[in-house]
Structure 1
């Protein structure tokens, strides 16, 4: 009996230790969010005087109303709701554009007999060496010359070319059995029908994984919206938060409470998307049997 109980005891201890490490890691990651929540509940003067503390104030409701329904600029257009909508449009447009363009590029590289298909793929892949920060000035010049400043097109279109999405969809399409392609060809399916009716449904988990990654990346964009948008009605949440907390004008203090509450609101949509679609996300990146 002792011999049979020792492995069980060892398993239980290791399981407890694993869960303990996970719980401690989760608490460690939650500390900054709890600090932001505390700072959003106290007056701005107290934040400047004392900084973060364990005291929970009574300003949470007032800061929420200010954050969502009051504007901080001169035009009265950059309320929290308008900035939230702009961030949604940027995140969703960014993700959908990258997925559509990446799928089309990968489809052409894998299934069309192009003479320089491999060279085209590696040319696309090497663009990972040129992030937005490197090419931001020429990108800005092109957007300005096309008259797309302070527009959703200017926010989204220059960013949707994606070597990452092209790479993942290429690897996925290469794993599709050749017998499926032959069967579709025998049934008379053309290139577009094969793409829309067969490849797109097969790629739904990969599409979901790419959507999560690209949405979060687009949602958190700060540098590009700062360059492209000067009208306050086009500010995104990340752009607006920075403006709110850095203003010192006369006797006006930075609205730290309002800015911290907007920061918490900005975290919620990406977290919800990851939580609700995490199973699809994992399948899209790890599933090998197509």
Structure 2
């Protein structure tokens, strides 16, 4: 029998509400500033009532960017670059990690354990340790200012490989034996059996990897020297620090709100599969 404790439930809801307010209030302030004029957005104290310039501000940043900073491409262009590179990173990480885990679990070859630990140990290496040689390779291959340069070096993922390997180890061996008896080759077994079973884990990892790709800053900062290849993170930074004109904070906040939309939509739309892929124990 579960004992009901109204006081504890009320306290839990109050703590939860307080946490939501702490997280949501800065977002609300950014939204309010994005609907105001430049003068209103820099006024002190800032009005918490929405302004009348919302459509004008969002249309301006999507079409031409901030008027005081001509060195930054439009937000529409930056979001397209970020979206495409994030999708390439997410799909690339999932494909490479699934195939790597499949080989480590279902193929017998010398040094299999060594290769797994070589992959796993890369989790201990920060990006800064390998960023210089990686940049040199990308530069020598002529991939600067390209979608390939923005995404391919970030596709390998030891975390996703480890998670897929742990999941594949829980798949009954009888399924592989049955597929072998039916004449299915390794790739047929991978596509027809492992792929459907991994769907929830795959979707959960897609959310994580997409947000990881969307929020990239350090690597694109080195690779993208042409303003047409700036992702949204670098674009926001340039809006704040670049140029001699006064910072148009209303347009900066409008850019911030637009930058939060795609990852927010991905989380909201795929929330059910995301949670299920992380906590579901039924295999």
TM-score where L is the length of structure 2: 0.93
Query: Residue in 1 aligned with 2:270?
Result: 277
1:152-195: CA deviation from partner (whole Å, max 9, x where unpaired): 00000001010001000000000000111111111111101001
> Any residues of structure 2 matched to 1:21-40 within 5 Å, and which?
21-40=15-34
Query: Residue in 2 aligned with 1:18?
Result: 12
Q: CA deviation at 1:49?
A: 5.3
Question: Which of 199, 204, 210 is residue 209 of structure 1 equivalent to?
Answer: 204
1:218 aligns with 2:213: yes
> Any residues of structure 2 matched to 1:1-290 within 5 Å, and which?
10-48=4-42, 50=44, 52-54=46-48, 56-72=50-66, 78-249=73-244, 252-290=245-283
1:85-139: CA deviation from partner (whole Å, max 9, x where unpaired): 1111011111000000000110000000011111111100111112322221111
Query: Residue in 2 aligned with 1:4?
Result: none
Q: CA deviation at 1:233?
A: 1.4
1:240-285: CA deviation from partner (whole Å, max 9, x where unpaired): 1111121241xx2122211111111111111111122122112212
Which structure 1 residue ranges, 4+ long, deviate > 6 Å from structure 2?
73-77
* 219-228 vs 19-28, greater mean Cα deviation: 19-28
Specify the SS of the correspondent of 1:238. helix
Structure 2 Cα separation of the partners of residues 280 and 54 of structure 1: 36
5+ residue gaps in structure 1? 1-6
TM-score where L is the length of structure 1: 0.90
Structure 2 Cα separation of the partners of residues 147 and 289 of structure 1: 46
Q: Is the 8 A contact 1:92 1:215 kept in 2?
A: yes
Specify the SS of the correspondent of 2:129. coil
Q: Is the 8 A contact 1:149 1:228 kept in 2?
A: yes
RMSD: 2.1
